[in-house]
Structure 1
Amino acid sequence: MSNPIVQISNFNLKYGNKTVLRDLEWTIQEGENWLLTGFSGSGKTALLKAIAGIEKSTDEIVVNFDRQSNARPVCQYIAQWYQFKNVEGVANFYYQQRYNAQQVQDTLTVNAELAHYAEENNLNLAKSEPILEALGFAPLKNAQLIELSSGEHKKLQLVKALWLKPQLLLLDQPYTGLDIQSRQNLNNLLDRLTTEGVQIILISNETEIPACINRYGEIIDGQLEEHFTFCTRNEIVIEDRPIPEFLHEAPPSSSETLIKMVDVNINYGEKQVLKNVNWEIKAGEKWLLQGHNGSGKSTLLSLVNGDHPQAYANEIYLFGNKRGSGESIWDIKEHIGLISPELHWYFDFNATVWQSIASGFFDSIGLYKEIGWHKRTQVDELIEYFGLTENKNDLLAQLPLGKQRLVLLARTVIKNPELLVLDEPCQGLDAHQTLQFNTLIDGLCTTNRTLIYVSHSDDQLPKNLTHQLLLSKGEVIHNHIYKKKEELESV
């Protein structure tokens, strides 16, 4: 019998004083493709990084490659986020830079990035084309990296991994930010790849997984427990925590119509991102915003948030005022609680949990002002509600991504805004955390609070949505009263 491709014996890992993985044993034989699950913070990402030699170099983990295989004898870890750099090799980007036409030339194009990757890894550039086509990424080859949406960045990250064809491919939440069709296409690509000598370990919260997965493991209390079938936690029970008192009533609406856009067009050079968009949001409405990767959702939200400079060239009304009538970007943000993948990327990871949540009072990336006793009490109440009490003084960088996202979600609601803009808010959350957060949103939105909610997953939505806007290639193709999937199937 051949050696297992991965052999882990008595592996231990600590974060600070906390033991995350304890005496863990795991053997991965040739031909096995694993799905790895576990609650957020259970150690899944740390384990994959350790196997790849990123997190910790140890004799307790042995990886054996087959030198006769057609796949490359390497172990490739694909992180949840794609970390790109500018032309000078650094990654010091800021949140609004993507929408600034004078700044986008600071990064490489997709084509240049792929050419550089091919040279680094001795790859044939032509062989990336089928993967680009399969993931619907080929039309973006001339785009600047900073112009890409979070879903498009994920696709570029996956293109590189599939193109490299490593013997051991470690995928950490690869579906994050991908639309439904792209997820299906990715699964097909992974199935094909495993017939060519590649083995995969997949961390995912999704129920739709590639057919090649034939082993299932869950990290529980620091150890790996194998399941012999794919099991999902169908009944998730969350603790009945009362919503903090200060969030029970939304502030009075500043206008009967909070958002109004009339024939809005956004262009980057010759590329038109939004085309003749008309959208009106009245106070108290709860909107679901959807569309494929690159459809224009993030750009549309940047107009709502006041972040996009081209707002001044369009007829846009925010909170009762025409854009450009004298209000500042901070006047606009006072009304809004925002979470987005981009905000998470560019946040100050050297801030503590407490500071990060408190910064939501000022819409700042980090806390630079002292706050009074009343607001401090509100921060503490939200920390307790989200189950973050033991992490209160931890740096954001010290937390797993799921808990980081909970911190930023708490930051989103801390000032009790009249409009919540939640762009893929449940990315990185496990099923329990997702249910807890959407339960909070349902509780907050029983008042006259207004909501814009973006999600590719129909099974990760709050219950109180009232309207739906669907974008395709920058155009509105659907704008009406929201109907749940089961309601549509019964018609």
Structure 2
Amino acid sequence: MKESIVSIQNLNLKYQQKLVLTDLNWTINRGENYVLFGESGGGKTSLAKIIAGLQNGIGEVKINFDTNSHLPAEVLFVESWYQFKNLEGVANFYYQQRYTSQQAKDTLTVHAELVNYGIEKSLNLDKVEPILEALNFSSFASSQLIELSSGENKKLQLVKALWLKPQLLIIDQPYTGLDAASRKNLTILLNDVSQDGVQLILICNDSELPISINRFAEIKDGQFIQLDSLTQSSSTENHSGEIPSFLKESPVYSSENIVRMVNVNISYGEKQVLKNINWEVKAGEKWLLQGHNGSGKSTLLSLINGDHPQSYANELYLFGNRRGSGESIWDIKQHIGLISPEFHWYFDATSTVWQSIASGFYDTVGLFQQLPYSKSQQVDELVEYFGLMSSKNELLGSLPLGKQRLVLLARTIIKNPELLILDEPCQGLDQQQTQHFNHLVDELCSNGMTLIYVGHFESQLPNCLEKRILLESGEVKVVENLNIEA
């Protein structure tokens, strides 16, 4: 008889009067490494948290650790994103603080975080070095946690998990936010720890999987369904309705030149993040911005969005005006619709879905004024277009991560901006939601909108992209025209 490590019987989970998991049964035997599929909001993450003891459900969940194993008798859950705390144990940072905190030193460095973790878990610090090198993370030792991008923060959590090597390792969206080289090396590292006895549960819809994955399943209608292969998932297609009429109008451009950078340099002390950047974005152009984690993409976008204080010390033109010529940060933001993983981190989760979308008219992180009737109608149209009608009065923070992202995507486009900045916009979305959103991006851009799109996954890019800029170690490595096929 096979020996199980996890045994789940008749597990139920209700969330806001809605059954998420219904009499779910699942047995994981020793040597079985699972990938868990399912639509966003289907209960995958909640199930993982219950197995890890981080959330309660009604039913029986037994973990049977191997008492003879040399690995720690732990279940470790790595979230799809991670909220760090400052030195006083507080996590209420604001978005722009990431670019102004270098003087404050109010969060731990990466090295200090790893030292503390090693002491807590009785780990040998020397053994983390090969993991850091494999994920190209060694150079971040002196970086504060608040300075890290979402992809870099994800790497830090993966480094800690692979260093610990628990008996059961559950990772939610393991490849999200990672560049191609890091994804490849992560796959190798996961295979290595699996061979050492770590059992894996990966929650993702990706086709890039470790060869050690030998079981496939999905959560559908609250039930666990065993699959025979990667391609057997029974998720239903998400058919897009017609784009709202107010988004079919071409944006009104204040200038033919949207962005112009002349020899832009950004440094923190002796660390140079951007080096002699020259880049021009004209009205109606659709750009793909790429580069490894830590290449400077987020810093570059923070200059365009008005969030970086060093923009005044550089020759930077936004919407025809030189930065520092009298315009405020809010004057700049009026022209821009932005979504990024970092912005999602810091957004007010206590606003309702409807309020969150409506706040995009005013570039605030909550709605603080009454909307005129015409704008209220536009919010309603987008709520319906994104399939959020049943959730429109719910708090943003109460929704699954994928639905939260859809809400913020709707917020991004509500004012039909001149410039759309989409930084990894499909993080947390399932395949159907990704297709749905990129179809919308293509439609918007066919009406003349300017686009800067950051994406690591070639299979998750919209078709409208025309040009590509590639950063490497803070420098422009490639500028080229694209011909991305459908």
TM-score class normalised by the smaller sequence: over 0.9
Q: How far apart in 2 are the matches of 1:28 and 1:290?
A: 39
Amino acid at match of 1:469: I
2:154 corresponds in structure 1 to: 154
Give the secondary-structure state (helix, strand or coil) at the position aligned to 1:459: helix
Task: Say yes or no: does 1:316 pair with 2:300.
Answer: no
CA contact (8 A) 2:11 2:23 kept: yes
Q: Report the alpha carbon displacement of residue 41 of structure 1 after superposing the two structures with TM.
A: 0.6
1:84 corresponds in structure 2 to: 84
Task: Say yes or no: does 1:435 pair with 2:426.
Answer: no
**What percentage of residue pairs aligned between the two structures are identical?**
62
Q: Report the alpha carbon displacement of residue 149 of structure 1 after superposing the two structures with TM.
A: 1.3
Give the secondary-structure state (helix, strand or coil) at the position aligned to 1:66: coil
1:75 corresponds in structure 2 to: 75
CA contact (8 A) 1:180 1:456 kept: yes
Q: Report the alpha carbon displacement of residue 3 of structure 1 after superposing the two structures with TM.
A: 3.3
1:489 corresponds in structure 2 to: none
The RMSD of aligned alpha carbons is 1.4
Q: 1:383 to 1:485 in 2, by over 3 A?
A: closer
Aligned residue-pair number? 486
Q: How does 1:96-245 map to 2 (within 5 A)?
A: 96-231=96-231, 237-245=237-245
CA contact (8 A) 1:98 1:104 kept: no
Task: Say yes or no: does 1:374 pair with 2:374.
Answer: yes
1:286 corresponds in structure 2 to: 286
1:4 corresponds in structure 2 to: 4
1:387 corresponds in structure 2 to: 387
Q: How does 1:245-394 map to 2 (within 5 A)?
A: 245-394=245-394
Amino acid at match of 1:121: K
Q: Report the alpha carbon displacement of residue 42 of structure 1 after superposing the two structures with TM.
A: 0.6
Q: Report the alpha carbon displacement of residue 448 of structure 1 after superposing the two structures with TM.
A: 1.9
Q: Where does structure 2 lack aligned partners over 5 or more consecutive residues?
A: none
Q: Report the alpha carbon displacement of residue 58 of structure 1 after superposing the two structures with TM.
A: 5.3
Q: Report the alpha carbon displacement of residue 94 of structure 1 after superposing the two structures with TM.
A: 0.6
Q: Report the alpha carbon displacement of residue 59 of structure 1 after superposing the two structures with TM.
A: 5.2
Q: 1:185 to 1:390 in 2, by over 3 A?
A: same
2:426 corresponds in structure 1 to: 426
Q: 1:104 to 1:181 in 2, by over 3 A?
A: farther
Q: Segments of 4+ in structure 1 off by > 3 A?
A: 101-104, 232-238
CA contact (8 A) 1:104 1:144 kept: no
Residue deviations 1:350-409 (CA, integer Å, cap 9, x gap): 110001000101111111111111111110000000000000100011100000000000
Q: Where does structure 1 lack aligned partners over 5 or more consecutive residues?
A: 487-491
CA contact (8 A) 2:39 2:235 kept: no
Give the secondary-structure state (helix, strand or coil) at the position aligned to 2:68: coil
Q: 1:163 to 1:116 in 2, by over 3 A?
A: same
Bigger mean CA offset, 235-244 vs 89-98: 235-244
Amino acid at match of 2:370: E
Task: Say yes or no: does 1:36 pair with 2:49.
Answer: no
Q: 1:410 to 1:103 in 2, by over 3 A?
A: farther
Q: Report the alpha carbon displacement of residue 240 of structure 1 after superposing the two structures with TM.
A: 3.9
CA contact (8 A) 1:6 1:61 kept: yes
Q: Report the alpha carbon displacement of residue 104 of structure 1 after superposing the two structures with TM.
A: 4.8
Q: 1:385 to 1:57 in 2, by over 3 A?
A: closer
Q: How far apart in 2 are the matches of 1:363 and 1:232?
A: 42
Amino acid at match of 2:450: T
Bigger mean CA offset, 271-280 vs 96-105: 96-105
Q: 1:58 to 1:70 in 2, by over 3 A?
A: farther
CA contact (8 A) 1:305 1:333 kept: yes
